Structure 1
Amino acid sequence: MVHTCVVAGCRNRRTPGTTLSFYRFPRDPERKQRWIAAVNREGWVPNDGSRLCSTHFISAPLSPEMKEPGALEILDKQEARVEAANALLFLQGQGRSAVDDSRQEERPGEREREDLVEDSASSSLSSDEDDDDDKETLINCKRGKFAQASDVPVNFDDTLKALKKENQFLKESVEKMSLSENSLRNDAEKVKFYTGLPNYFVLETVMWLLAPHMDGMKNVKLSKFQQLLLTLMRLRLDLRNQDLAYRFGVKVGTVTRTVHRIVNIMSSTLVPTAVFWPSRAELRKNLPASLRASHPDCAVIIDCFTVPFEEEQQQRGLSRPHGAGSSHNMLKYLIGVAPQGVVTFVSRGVMGNVSDKRLAEGCGFLCKLLPGDVVLATRDLDIGESVAARGALFKIAGACQEDGHGRSEGSPPPDPASDTASVQRHVERVIAMVKRRYAMLTGPVESPFTSASERTSTLSTFDKIVQVACALNNLCISAAPLE
């Protein structure tokens, strides 16, 4: 509280750094009346906030108590201890109210400290009896102020235990929010969201398979697990490289190199393990009941799908060549799915408006067929002759009676509810599941992924990404079971 001297004509005020002292009026009526007369203000009556500065008491002797230099210093030290105790209480979540109370009482505390000095000074100018009273008041006020702050008892051992407990809780909270092994270990939903895999056990199995091939990497700031997780998040959520760089605390270039490197490793190790052509005995052993009667020799169900890509002309803001249709901005793939619902074949992508027949004959699919195999499709891919040349049979499931596709005239239309009709949507559902599970396959494909990933490989990085996505999909529950 700022005090101003009440003597007529005096403008002295209590300000920070001032050497002046300010005294309240004495309680003794006779002395108080002499002070009022000295103020020289007609009809004026002092109140509790009225003060006189020390310049008007130059000739008055000061008591030893007034000249004691350590009075305020003791209070300051006590206040510092109180503030430290309040800070500890605040950290353990129990001192918020104490801090609020201290803030509300901050100015009254300041006023109290000022009043202590004024009481001491005025009493020294009053009488010896008042000196004793003021000294007792000073002591009681010191004790009262310290007792007020210690209304909440401070046990430093308990405080330390509480801080350790809170520290452990914060560590667990940060760990749970982070993208680490521990945060995913017991959270299947989190694993599924970030990786597309059903649980941590499957993720750990993939990590175990890839880890030996990641040993030769140098100057990598990310752990093996973080590299795999970053790559799976790129495929699963189609996050931008800058986003992943922020999440993992690395540079964009590190993200780019990591994705390409891990995709190459998964292509060479995971794909051959999870995407393979099953033996005929294995196919017949696990053939769904819906196909055992109609197509007991079914080896594969095939179809084609496309993924749009970004043209360099579009990235540079240039117009497309005249007459170029949207089909030229596509990567086309042929996919084969076993009757059990797992992907058994994926071709490399062909850019442009290539025919189904040309794609099937040039991707190595026909080499997988054995004499007597039945190849089902949801539509005519114009590969019947090519399949027949391998001794196999090509059939259009659920639509084999359509005109122009080798059906006999007058044959009844297919029954949508029949077992064969259920096969008609089989591959589409599998493709839709793979794309939904790994959003990067929905495109558009960025141009850096359309070039060959290695000099010795004819596959682009995105071709490998498609194959890896199919391999990861096979590790999950069948996307489109026929039963």
Structure 2
Amino acid sequence: MVHTCVVAGCRNRRTPGSTLSFYRFPRDPQRKQRWIAAVNREGWIPNEGSRLCSTHFISGKQVKNPRSPDYIPSVFTTAPLSPNMKEASACELYDKQEAQVEAANALLFLQGQGRFLEDSHQIHSQEETESVSSSLSSCNEEEDDNDDEDDREEEISLTSIIQGDKPVINIPTTSSDYQSSLEALKKENMELRESVEKMSLTEASFRNDPEKVRFYTGLPNYFVFETVMLLLLPHMKGDKNTKLSKFQQLLLTLMRLRLDLRNKDLAYRFGIKVATVTRTVHRIINIMFTTLVPTAVFWPSRVELRKNLPASLRSTYPDCAVIIDCFRVSLEKEDINQQVDSMPTQSALVNELKYVIGVAPQGVVMFVSSGSPGHVTDKSLVESSGLLFKLLPGDVVLAERDFDIDDLVDARKAKFEITSNYVKSCQSGQNEEGPSLMGAYSDKQNVHMHVERVIEMVKRRYCMLTGPVESPFTVIDRTSNVSTFDKIVQVACALNNLCISAAPLE
């Protein structure tokens, strides 16, 4: 519905993209009557659709504190009087005087001058009471001379109220002085809003701040963040029980992965309940697991692998398809105790989860297994992970250590090479072969360092992967038969692939 401000001469309307706010008239009868008096439309009574825009409040919005100057709208532009309009009565003059008092309070509040002294409050209350009684009596007696005297007394009292130990604030006595002070306050208010916006976790504060995007999300810039957002949007059905926008839901989840913040910390930062944080993280992780992971973590074709093979492997292993390694993540103590009770003989190895990771020669993660207990052997882990089914005849699998999977790889008509053994042979044959073997040694060393750097990069970019893993994340989802932390590992690898590789082979 399009709302229009009811103030005479104000043409503000609620339109798409407008930053103005429109407020209903208060339900409290006394306050509502004061709003009607401030609007100053003779014989007019507001209805349910009547709205007042935010430009008629000093701070730009209404305040429900009766002591605030914005409890009643007070900013109105002057308009020429029509012949049918009556002259202002003493009651209307009192409203004008009250608006001046409220404007003075706003000046003190916004300029940080502190609160009034108790004695000043008492003096103000007494003088205001006297002013009210004199104004009301003038209403009944209709004496214009007394109205002028009240105006002069009000100006004097305003100046005397503000004096004390604090610096004296000069209250504007003319409309031009009042307008200039109002413009200065509006400018200061805008600067404060911009400062608060930079410190907030809103979309506008991230758009032009790549350093902030990197710190909170691990992504290189806002463009990549927006790309991920556009991919997830069709699947992000709004949660009716949350105050978070879709942008904030994704940001909260990435902050959980990136900084490993606890749910209560995130609840305080976003002003929501802990249960809402938990529900949001699990829901967004599931969406990224089903949409982002298949897009960013996949096994390239042999043509693509050979076409983009780094120069350091082109001469030694032109058929290299994948470089594999394992990494481990520690479990929370509660999970450790549960597993130790069930497997007492393996207590030293059940305090962690173990994953096998496959890295393409180009530096991107192309395979991640599900997590297995730390006591599982490398051979069993690789065999159950499904990695072997992706190999083609003639492919070469590289690893820095022996996984004891030669027979499994041979069954796929592929070849498994251990770089550490090759390095030893290069060192032992250095005197006979000379620089040629040392060059191969350098290539092998690069391969090992390369895959280590990729794993460390993922863990450094998303600290949640360093552990310990909290208990709720190790529970296996019945629908997908995958634990939430396994999904988190794959999502982190997918997000890492979207960033520019920091570990090239060359």
TM above 0.5, one fold? yes
Q: Distance in 1 between matches of 2:345 and 2:232?
A: 46
Q: Which runs of 5+ in 1 are unaligned?
A: 1-76, 114-139
Alignment match of 1:462 (pick from 458, 472, 485): 485
Match of 2:33 in 1: none
Match of 2:401 in 1: 379
Alignment match of 1:198 (pick from 209, 220, 225): 220
Match of 1:445 in 2: 469
Q: Distance in 1 between matches of 2:335 and 2:492?
A: 28
Are 1:207 and 1:225, in contact at CA under 8 Å, matched by a contact in 2?
Answer: yes
Cα deviation, residue 387, structure 1:
1.0
Tell me the secondary structure at the aligned position of residue 355 of structure 2: strand
Q: CA 1:151–1:334 in structure 2 vs 1: closer, same or farther (change >3 Å)? A: closer
Q: How does 1:48-447 map to 2 (within 5 A)?
A: 86-91=104-109, 93=111, 96=113, 153=172, 155-215=177-237, 217-312=239-334, 323-400=345-422, 402=424, 411-412=429-430, 415=438, 418-447=442-471
Tell me the secondary structure at the aligned position of residue 361 of structure 2: coil
Tell me the secondary structure at the aligned position of residue 312 of structure 2: helix
Cα deviation, residue 171, structure 1:
2.1
Identity of aligned residues (%): 62
Cα deviation, residue 429, structure 1:
0.9
Match of 2:37 in 1: none
Are 2:406 and 2:415, in contact at CA under 8 Å, matched by a contact in 1?
Answer: yes
Query: What TM-score does the superposition give when structure 2 sets the normalisation length?
Result: 0.65
Q: Distance in 2 between matches of 1:468 and 1:315?
A: 28
Cα deviation, residue 167, structure 1:
2.2
Q: For structure 1, which segment, 144-153 or 187-196, has the greater mean C-alpha deviation from structure 2 after superposition?
A: 144-153
Are 1:369 and 1:390, in contact at CA under 8 Å, matched by a contact in 2?
Answer: yes
Alignment match of 2:502 (pick from 470, 479, 482): 479
Cα deviation, residue 172, structure 1:
1.8
Q: Distance in 1 between matches of 2:364 and 2:198?
A: 34
Q: Distance in 2 between matches of 1:401 and 1:420?
A: 7
Cα deviation, residue 176, structure 1:
1.5
**Higher-RCO chain (CA-CA 8 Å, sequence separation at least 6):** 1
Are 1:288 and 1:339, in contact at CA under 8 Å, matched by a contact in 2?
Answer: yes
Tell me the secondary structure at the aligned position of residue 332 of structure 1: strand
Q: Distance in 1 between matches of 2:416 and 2:170?
A: 89
Cα deviation, residue 153, structure 1:
5.0
Q: Distance in 1 between matches of 2:307 and 2:195?
A: 49
Q: Distance in 2 between matches of 1:390 and 1:343?
A: 22
Q: Distance in 2 between matches of 1:80 and 1:385?
A: 92
Tell me the secondary structure at the aligned position of residue 499 of structure 2: coil
| Number of residues of Structure 1 aligned to a counterpart in Structure 2 | 369
Q: CA 1:167–1:333 in structure 2 vs 1: closer, same or farther (change >3 Å)? A: same
Are 2:238 and 2:246, in contact at CA under 8 Å, matched by a contact in 1?
Answer: no
Q: Which runs of 5+ in 2 are unaligned?
A: 1-94, 128-151, 161-167, 432-436
Q: Distance in 2 between matches of 1:319 and 1:381?
A: 29
Q: CA 1:252–1:80 in structure 2 vs 1: closer, same or farther (change >3 Å)? A: closer
Are 1:415 and 1:421, in contact at CA under 8 Å, matched by a contact in 2?
Answer: no
Q: CA 1:315–1:223 in structure 2 vs 1: closer, same or farther (change >3 Å)? A: farther
Cα offsets for 1:330-373 (capped at 9, x unmatched): 11100001111100000001123111111111110001111111
Q: CA 1:156–1:350 in structure 2 vs 1: closer, same or farther (change >3 Å)? A: same
Cα deviation, residue 432, structure 1:
0.6
Cα deviation, residue 166, structure 1:
2.2
Q: For structure 1, which segment, 153-162 or 379-388, has the greater mean C-alpha deviation from structure 2 after superposition?
A: 153-162
Cα deviation, residue 170, structure 1:
2.3
Q: CA 1:153–1:202 in structure 2 vs 1: closer, same or farther (change >3 Å)? A: same
Cα offsets for 1:37-84 (capped at 9, x unmatched): xxxxxxxxxxxxxxxxxxxxxxxxxxxxxxxxxxxxxxxx9x999975
Bigger Rg over Cα = 1
Q: Distance in 2 between matches of 1:397 and 1:415?
A: 13
Match of 2:86 in 1: none
Supply the AA of the counterpart residue of 1:424.
H
Q: Distance in 2 between matches of 1:256 and 1:151?
A: 53
Tell me the secondary structure at the aligned position of residue 329 of structure 2: strand
Q: Distance in 1 between matches of 2:232 and 2:240?
A: 16
Q: CA 1:83–1:315 in structure 2 vs 1: closer, same or farther (change >3 Å)? A: farther
Cα deviation, residue 450, structure 1:
0.9
Q: RMSD of aligned C-alpha atoms? A: 3.5
